[in-house]
Amino acid sequence: MPRSLENFNLGKVLGEGTFGKVFLAEYKDTKQLCAIKTLKKERIIAKNDIKSVFKEKRILQKVTSAEHPFLVSLYATFQSENHLFFVMEYLPGGDLCHLLEHQGAFEESKAMFYTACVVLGLEELHRNNIVHRDLKLENLMVDVHGYLKIVDFGLSKDGFKYGDCTKTRCGTNCYMAPEIIDEMAYSRAVDWWALGVVLYVMIMFQFPFDAEDDMELFESIRNDKPALTEELSEEAQCLILRVSG
């Protein structure tokens, strides 16, 4: 792919993050649709986050080289005077958060199918010594064939081998494992905890740990067991409990 914004027709805004927006775009020569993530250099510098942006690029390049069906692909990167651009695979099915908002709780079979996609994606990340650290509904998107792909590696850490640990507190509160909350050493297992939360929400249409503020939420994550109904199959109950601790 080219390395200039002039080679694309920009469309609607698909999302917005800390450093910029994600646009639907069309590559003029082939009419191929893609997603272009724009990052404002000024914001990156202001937040002293230059290393994190280059780390995300490095991880995306590694993920793309693996050509894994359940991990998003990076097509190209380039820059202008004021922006950095990541040209990425367009995933037209949207993210799980929006799907759940429109469809309600998933049937177990659908939830299990999506979970299987994420399991295989996480296994590939971990095989390449990458821990995601921000697995959540918004970072799981459906491709044109109906499969789920893991996206957004902004908080990921590479060079993270089996048995390695870190104490950096990051992620999204309601998906955090207890060891992250308590700033204890944690391993790649935190990704599996987050997947357990995702599975629970897909089936139950609510979060396993809920509270009125962050302090109560963290106490619930530390001490409570997810409430499971008799409507869930034994297989689903076992998987939720196994994955989420």
Indicate the SS3 state at residue 183.
coil
Q: Is 62 labelled as part of a ligand binding site? A: no
Report the chain's C-alpha Rg in angstroms: 18
Q: What share of the chain is helix, strand, coil (3-state, %, to 5)?
A: 40, 20, 40
Q: CB–CB of 36/20 below 8 Å?
A: no
* Cβ 237 vs Cβ 108: under 8 Å: no
> 134 catalytic, yes or no?
yes
What is the SS3 string spanning 80-118? CCCEEEEEEECCCCCEHHHHHHHHCCCCHHHHHHHHHHH
At what angle are helices 234-243 and 108-127 packed, to 10 degrees? 30
Q: CA 174, CA 154: separation in Å to the nearest integer?
A: 18
- From the list 29, 49, 134, 224, the catalytic residue is 134
* Spatial CB neighbours of 244, under 8 Å, sequence gap ≥ 6: 192, 193, 196, 197, 200, 208, 226
**CB contact burial 59-79 (16+ within 10 A = b; e otherwise):** bbebbbeeebebbbbbbbbbe
Binding site for ATP, by residue number, is 47
Active site residues: 134
Binding site, by residue number, is 47
